Amino acid sequence: MLSMQNISMVYRTDTVETHALRQFNLDVGEGEFVAITGPSGSGKTTFLNIAGLLEKFTSGRYELDGKDVSSLSDAATSRVRNEKIGFVFQGFNLIPDLNVFDNVDVPLRYRGFNGAERKQRIERVLDMVGLASRQKHLPAQLSGGQQQRVAIARALAGEPRFLLADEPTGNLDSQMAMSIMELIQEINRGGTTIIMVTHDPTLANLAGRNVHIRDGRVSDSDADTQLAEVAVG
Amino acid sequence: MQFGPIWRALMRNKTGAILIALQVAVTMAIMVNAISIIQTRAEAMARPSGIDEPNIFYISSIGFNDAFNERVAVEEDLAALRAMPGVVDALQTNSVPLSGGGWSMGLQTEPGDDMDGVGVAVYFVDDHALDTYDLELVAGEFFSPTDIEWREGSSSTWPDRTVITVAMAEALFGEDEWRSGVGKTVYINNNEPMTVTGIIDRMQAAWNGWDGVERTMLVPQRTLFGSSRYIIRAEPGLRDELMPQVEEMLAQSNKDRIVRGLRTMEETRERSYRGDASMIKLLMFTIGLLLLITALGIVGLASFSVSRRTKQIGTRRALGATRADIAGYFMSENLLISGMGVLLGAALTVGLNMWMVDAFDLDRMEVWLVPAAMGVLLVVGQLAVFGPARRASSVPPAVATRTV
Amino acid sequence: MFNYYLKLGWLSLRANPLLSLLMVAAIGVGIGACMTILTVNYTMSGNPIPHKSDQLYHVQLDSWDANDPGEDGYNPPDQVTYNDAMALMNGAPGFRQVASNRSGLVLEPEGDDERPFSVDVRNTWADFFPMFDTPFLYGSGWDDTADTTREPVVVLSRELNERVFGGEDSVGRTVRMNGLNFRVVGVLDEWMVVPKFYDVTNGPFNETEEAFIPFNLAVDQELPRNGNTNCWKPPEGDGFEAFKNSECVWIQFWAELRDEQEKAAFSNWLDAYVAEQKELGRFPRPLNNRVLAVMEWMEDRQVVEDDAQVMLGLSFLFLVVCLLNTIGLLLAKFMRKTGDISVRRALGARRSDLFRQHMVEAGLIGLGGGVLGIALTWLGLRGIEVLFGEFVENLVGLDWVMMLTAVGLAIVSALVAGLYPTWRATRIMPASQLKAQ
Ligand SMILES: Nc1ncnc2c1ncn2[C@@H]1O[C@H](COP(=O)(O)OP(=O)(O)OP(=O)(O)O)[C@@H](O)[C@H]1O
Ligand SMILES: [Mg+2]
């Protein structure tokens, strides 16, 4: 499903070069649930951005669904994000001026679905995250957990095969975090491939596989010797 | 585009939008009314005076002591002027079209103190008038040399014949009947009869703001008012060369008078309409400045809105919006705001126009100006928001995960 | 505290120079446009003789046609006939009263090379000079005996004295005009009246005349008249005598009446005079005399042109657009400071503190706009001068009153524009940062 080989990512500012990823290798199969952990500044978000086609990497090879995506145009990457990938952000990133319904509607609009189809999908995902009754609420009128549920609903509305989450529970208390995790697990059981960045080892343990990033490299991943070798070498 | 959610998002942040819409509305009201004034002025300026403006100039001669024999002087001057090489023809008169100063009288078709007269501008001319002014006689006959009399400054009586313009004939005898005016008797000073012997196509009065500016009568007299004006028509291209020669000739030929006020007809027109021409320029400048300010306001507010929504833009990009989608969002948003503005503006424009028509006696504006101005303002809005929209579209999607 | 707010305001403006500049420019341009037009209107409608404008009265008598009412269907003519002028001069009980009219003569300088030239002249009476407080450089007005003896005396303007006598004290010397030798009795200093209230009929923004001579002398000598003449019926017969006795109006009549009593006495006298004339078969229209003070007369004549008023209206709308612009930009600016404001609130700032802080910032923008506005007004007035030329030359000076008005208007505008954004800023909750991002 996702395959990264020798990806490196260098941020250049006026004075310094930061190597956020170095010779990064990772394969994720269809339907997997991968948790990414690592110390702060190790490159987790950078990896997620590249995986989700939000940023272009400096060198290496990245195949998504067997297709090389490094040379896609801006419009084409937008299309891929829209159709194949769903995002859940640490800060929820709901659009404050739009109500719940319209927020979930955003990716569907870009997808070009007709009104009836959009409505049906939105109602279905909101039902799934348990917020069917809050359609007309504005983000500011919801609790943090509810906001994140809306964000998840929005990520799922387009039925992506691939869900990327960057510390989806980072802003939530542990109880709320647990319920979000359950939701994500349930989604994974439905067949969606999930990559989730998290600080919390207990949450990471709920995933099918753990990838630890240190200094821009995969340093340890359970029972994946090949990757471990590369990381050492 | 997706106006629904844009509209709902807009409604959550009304103030900025309302301000821009109001600004667009007031701009439109000013713009349309200013253009309406410009149109009226420009139309007035475009009216022909009926005379050969490019080749005509004039000069005044004023006798100042007892030795000055005006009758002899005028005859000698006219003979000398007409004999000058390059002069097509010349005559003596009391006033010049569009110059601002002249005589007016009233003519009526029935005698009697209690009958209403039609105001008319009076020019005293001789039998050379058709040639000198390049007028077109459209009915009847013009004056012959024997018709020409002398008029004293204090005289209160009038000769027995006159030639009038088509506009005057229409005012006296009716729109379609003007030709029938030839040979008819009209009354000046309520009771004094004059026969209309001929009708000329057009010749403007001295006052461009007068609603009867086309109503003119020619009277076959040379004047002895102490000061007289000579109208001189030069052959094409020779006017500027001739002017100093004429001035010198008149100044030298008789030392008992002064000559002054040498001026071309072109300059007279320019002075006559200077107020209007300046008003037009001032209004155009105002419109330009106003559009610029409104455009800058849109740029300013749109830039703000872009920077306020940077994260939102990144999120949209992450959710699959293309650059064009983002730019389109801001363009559509502006279209909505400006659209409300021009709708409100249309009402405001009509209101302002009705008030101005009432308060300042202006002409009512032409209706097509309203949709035209709406179109222009929508285009200006789109152009103004184009820059900020492009900046918005270049917000990288990674902003979604990077910005707090 | 105020200094602290000034500093904060300045820092905030500097933080976003382009935007601040845009706001200052918006206010400045609006103020500039308004003030330019306002200055022209202010001068047009200015009081030309403030210290005694309420004692000087323009006199009108309704001597017009029974069948055809005068101006606008009800106003008496703006000038008077010769006979009425003389009757008023001889009998009316005004403290001072003056009949005058416009004329033009030809002046022949001494020396053979000098060419004769024409001069703008006012035919008037001795009382003209004290009544209108004309400033004298040399000599004085003529003695009122010259009015009756018809002595050829003249008062020259400063410019004409420069031209003819090189600026010397010419009192007692002679100038020759239209074949007559006039003795110079006085030379005026610079004398500008805008509008030229004592003769609006012949142009409210004309220059004052270059020479003043006795009215009676001009009439006796049948010197040419140069002003507007209106007749509702032709003179009975030819010649100047017939014209003098006609119903033609061509003379401006002014009276100086120092208090209500004098004014009442004068009006009563006028009514009695008209009644007497009606007996003689004149004044066919109903009694309709007017005695209007200077500013009433200016108002009546609508000396401020419609064009100027249209422009004034449009320029105020223009200012409105500029203000809307500024409100929008300030609002955006203050709303961007949400973080800053809520932190300040959390640190103990009261609403009123924030209100003052942001109003000071708006005021600073206004100050900048005002200064820019003055500069633009100056430019605008030069532009008007170039566009309209000599017609407005007397109208486009910029004085202190207008400069202060500009800055004042700018600051007030900016504060008004700042009110709503500031109010919105003070509504920001100390904790607002925590929820909405
Ligand atoms: N836009 C950028 N420009 C320059 N350097 C950047 C940029 N974004 C990230 N970095 C640097 O790249 C490195 C990796 O950052 P990244 O955000 O991926 O870390 P992270 O693992 O997500 O950390 P955290 O757990 O704190 O979120 C860091 O050293 C960071 O400073
Ligand atoms: Mg991170």
Least confident segment among A130-134, B19-23, B66-70, C12-16 = C12-16
**Strand order from edge to edge, sheet including A193-197:** A85-88, A162-166, A193-197, A33-37, A209-214, A217-221
Single residue among B219, B234, B259 that ends a domain in this structure: B219
Is A41 touching ligand 1 by the criterion CB < 6 Å?
A: yes
Q: Find chains touching chain C: ≥3 CB pairs under 8 Å.
A: A, B
Find, among C45, C36, C35, C31, the residue nearest to C305 by Cα: C45
Least CA distance to A157: which residue of chain B? B319
Contact A90 CB / ligand 1 (< 6 Å): no
Ligand 1 atom at shortest distance from the alpha carbon of A47: 18
Identify the pLDDT of residue C391: 59
Lowest mean pLDDT among B16-25, B309-318, C347-356: C347-356
Phi, then psi, of C176 in degrees rounded to 5: -105, 120
Residue B217's pLDDT is 95
Domain end: B219, B239, B263, which one? B219
The 8-class DSSP code of residue C308 comes to H
Which residue is listed with tokens 């008249």? C225
Interchain proximity C435–A140, CB inside 8 Å: yes
SS (H, E, C) C2-56: HHHHHHHHHHHHHHCHHHHHHHHHHHHHHHHHHHHHHHHHHHHCCCCCHHHCCCE
CB C254 within 8 A of CB C56: yes
A71 Cβ inside 6 Å of ligand 1: no
> Which stretch, A213-222, B314-323, C394-403, has highest mean pLDDT?
B314-323
Question: Cβ distance C336 to C97 under 8 Å?
Answer: no
Question: Model confidence at C392, in pLDDT bands (50, 70, 90)?
Answer: low
Do β-strands B161-165 and B192-200 pair in parallel, antiparallel, or remain unpaired? parallel
Give the model's confidence band at A224: pLDDT under 50 very low, under 70 low, under 90 confident, else very high: very low
From the CB of A18, is ligand 1 less than 6 Å away?
yes
Nearest Cα to Cα of residue C282 among C89, C61, C58: C61
Nearest protein Cα to ligand 1, atom 14? A43
Residue A220's pLDDT is 59
State whether C325 and B65 contact (CB < 8 Å).
Answer: no
A139–C436 C-beta distance less than 8 A: yes
A99: nearest Cα among C292, B7, C218, C21: B7
pLDDT at A217: 87
Using a CB–CB cutoff of 8 Å, tell me whether C242 touches chain B: yes
Given this model, what pLDDT does residue A71 score?
84
Distance CA A37, CA A219 (A): 10
Half-sphere exposure (Cβ direction) of A180: Cα atoms closer than 13 Å: 31
Say how far apart CA A154 and CA A158 lie, in whole Å: 8
What does the pLDDT look like over A188-211, one tens digit per residue?
Answer: 998 899 999 988 888 888 888 999
Q: Band the pLDDT of C254: cuts 50, 70, 90.
A: very high
Residue A230 clears pLDDT 60, i.e. is over it: no
Inter-CA distances, C56 with B338, C53, C254, C256, Å:
55, 5, 7, 5
Q: What's the N-to-C CA distance of chain A in angstroms?
A: 25
Among B2-11, B81-90, B201-210, C284-293, top mean pLDDT goes to B81-90
- Indicate the number of domains in chain B: 2
| Numbers of helices and strands, H then E, in chain C | 15, 11
B322 has a chain A CB within 8 A of its CB: yes
Token pair in block for residue A43: 């490159």
pLDDT at C100: 96
Q: Is the dihedral of CA A56, A57, A58, A60 positive or negative?
A: negative
Identify the pLDDT of residue C74: 64
Question: For residue B371, how far is its CA from the centre of ligand 1 (angstroms)?
Answer: 54
Q: What's the confidence (pLDDT) of residue A40?
A: 87
The 10 Å CB-count burial string (b at 16+, else e) for A38-56 is beeebbbbbbbbbbbbbbb
Task: Please give the distance, rounded to the nearest whole angstrom, from the Cα atom of residue A148 to the centre of ligand 1.
Answer: 23
What type of residue sits at position C388? F
The values of phi and psi at residue C214, to 5°, are: -60, 135
Ligand nearest to the CA of A17: 1
Mutate to test the interface with C, among B293, B344, B353, B391 (most CBs of C within 10 A): B293
Q: Which ligand is nearest to the CA of A11?
A: 1
Q: What is the pLDDT of residue A120?
A: 93
Confidence class for position B82, pLDDT limits 50, 70, 90: very high
In a domain, B143, yes or no: yes
Q: Specify burial of residue C272 (Cβ count, 10 A radius: 0-12, 13-18, 19+).
A: exposed
Q: Is the CB of A40 inside a 6 Å radius of any atom of ligand 1?
A: yes
pLDDT at C107: 92
Protein residue closest via CA to atom 31 of ligand 1: A41
ipTM topping 0.85? no
Residue type, B89: D
Q: Which C positions 295-314 lie with beta carbon below 8 A of chain B?
A: 306-307, 309-311, 313-314
Farthest-apart Cα atoms in chain B, separation: 103
Question: Which residue's C-alpha comes closest to atom 20 of ligand 1?
Answer: A41
Beta bridge pairs of residue C96: C256
Structural domain boundaries enclosing B361: 3-46+274-401
The yes-or-no verdict on residue C186 having pLDDT over 90 is: yes
Q: Which of A11, A12, A167, A212 has most ligand 1 atoms within 8 Å of CB, for mutation?
A: A11
Exposed, middle or buried by CB within 10 Å (0-12, 13-18, 19+), for C237? Answer: middle
Tokens for A193?
Answer: 């491939």
Q: In chain B, which residues have their Cβ closer than 8 Å to the Cβ of C391?
A: 274-275
- Count CB-CB contacts under 10 A for residue C145: 9
In this prediction, residue C85 carries a pLDDT of 95
**DSSP conformation class of C225:** B
Which residue out of A8, A37, A40, A46 has the highest number of ligand 1 atoms within 8 Å of its CB and is therefore the one to mutate?
Answer: A46
B40 touches C at CB < 8 Å: no
Residues B391 and B278 in one domain: yes
Question: Cis ω on the peptide bond leading into residue C195 (within 30° of 0)?
Answer: yes
| Protein residue with its CA nearest to atom 30 in ligand 1 | A41
Mean pLDDT of C296-311: 79
> If you write DSSP's letter for every residue of B370-383 in order, what string do you get?
HHHHHHHHHHHHHH
Residue A32: its pLDDT value, please?
92
pLDDT of the residue at B31: 92
Which atom of ligand 1 sits closest to the CA of residue B401?
17
User: Positive or negative CA dihedral for C238, C242, C247, C250?
Assistant: positive
pLDDT at C398: 67
From atom 26 of ligand 1, which residue's Cα is the shortest distance away? Answer: A40
**What tokens were used for C416?**
């008004």
**Cα-flanking dihedrals φ and ψ of residue C208, to 5°?**
-70, 160
Which residue lies with its CA nearest to atom 29 of ligand 1? A41
- Asked whether the beta carbons of B301 and B20 are under 8 A apart, the reply is yes
Domain at A142, CATH number: 3.40.50.300
Mutate which of A22, A24, A44 to test ligand 1's pocket (most atoms within 8 Å of Cβ)? A44
Q: How far apart are CA C108 and CA A39, in angstroms?
A: 106
- For ligand 1, whether the C-beta of A15 sits within 6 Å is no
Q: How far apart are CA C328 and CA B18, in angstroms?
A: 9
Residue B351 pLDDT grade (very low, low, confident, very high; cuts 50, 70, 90): very high
Interchain contact, B286 vs C336, CB within 8 Å = no
Q: Is A45 in the pocket of ligand 1 (CB under 6 A)?
A: yes
What is the rounded CA–CA span in Å between residue A71 and residue C37?
A: 62
Identify the band that residue B266 occupies on the pLDDT scale cut at 50, 70 and 90: very high
**Is residue A91 within 6 Å of ligand 1 at its C-beta?**
no
Check: CB of residue B30 under 8 Å from CB of residue C317.
Answer: yes
Phi, psi of C104 (to 5 degrees): -140, 130
Q: Bridge partners of C100?
A: C252
Kindly report whether the global pTM for this prediction surpasses the value 0.80.
no
For A140, the closest chain C residue by CA position comes to C436
How many interchain CB pairs under 8 A, A with C?
6
Q: State phi, psi for B371 to the nearest 5 degrees.
A: -60, -35
- Which amino acid residue places its CA nearest to atom 13 of ligand 1? A20
Domain boundary residue among B172, B188, B219? B219
Give C113-135 as a 3 state SS string: CCCCEEEEEEEECCCHHHHCCCC
Listed residue (B234, B211, B212) closest to B363, CA to CA: B211
C-alpha distance from residue C305 to each of B213, B273, C73, C229 (Å): 20, 15, 21, 22
Residue C232 is given by DSSP the state: S
Three-state SS string across chain A, please? CEEEEEEEEEEECCCCEEEEEEEEEEEECCCCEEEEECCCCCCHHHHHHHHCCCCCCCEEEEEECCEECCCCCHHHHHHHHHHHEEEECCCCCCCCCCCHHHHHHHHHHHHCCCHHHHHHHHHHHHHHCCCHHHCCCCHHHCCHHHHHHHHHHHHHHCCCCEEEEECCCCCCCHHHHHHHHHHHHHHHHCCCEEEEECCCHHHHCCCCEEEEEECCEEEEECCCHHHHHHHHC
> Mutate which of A14, A18, A36, A195 to test ligand 1's pocket (most atoms within 8 Å of Cβ)?
A18
User: How many whole angstroms separate alpha carbon B257 and alpha carbon B68?
Assistant: 7
Coarse DSSP helix, strand, coil percentages of chain C, rounded to the nearest 5 percent:
55, 15, 30
Picking from B401, B402, B403, B404 by the largest number of A CB atoms within 10 A of its own CB, the best residue to mutate is B401
Specify the number of domains making up chain A: 1
User: So what's the pLDDT on residue A216?
Assistant: 87
For A110, the closest of B319, B398, B402 (CB atoms) is B319
Q: Whose CA is nearest to atom 5 of ligand 1?
A: A11
Size of interface B-C (CB pairs under 8 A): 144
Rounded Cα–Cα distance for residues B77 and B254 (Å): 9
Which chains have at least 3 CB atom pairs separated by less than 8 Å from chain B?
A: A, C
* Residue A212 Cβ < 6 Å to ligand 1: no
Instruction: Identify the bridge partners of residue B186 per DSSP, sorted by sequence position.
Output: B194
Q: Which amino acid is at C127?
A: D
Mean pLDDT of C131-136: 94
Across the range C13-37, mean pLDDT stands at 83
Average pLDDT, chain B: 90
Q: Would you say residue B113 lies in a domain?
A: yes
**Interatomic CA distance for residues B373 and A219, integer angstroms:** 66
| Set of chain A residues whose Cβ sits within 8 Å of the Cβ of B5 | 98, 102, 105-106, 109
Q: Which two tokens stand for residue C290?
A: 């007017």
Q: What is the dihedral of CA A147, A150, A151, A153, to 10 degrees?
A: 160
Domain boundaries in chain C? 2-47+305-436, 62-288
CA–CA gap between residue B246 and residue B227 (Å, rounded): 17
Residue A208 domain boundaries = 2-232
Question: Which of the pair, C164 or B10, is modelled with greater confidence?
Answer: C164
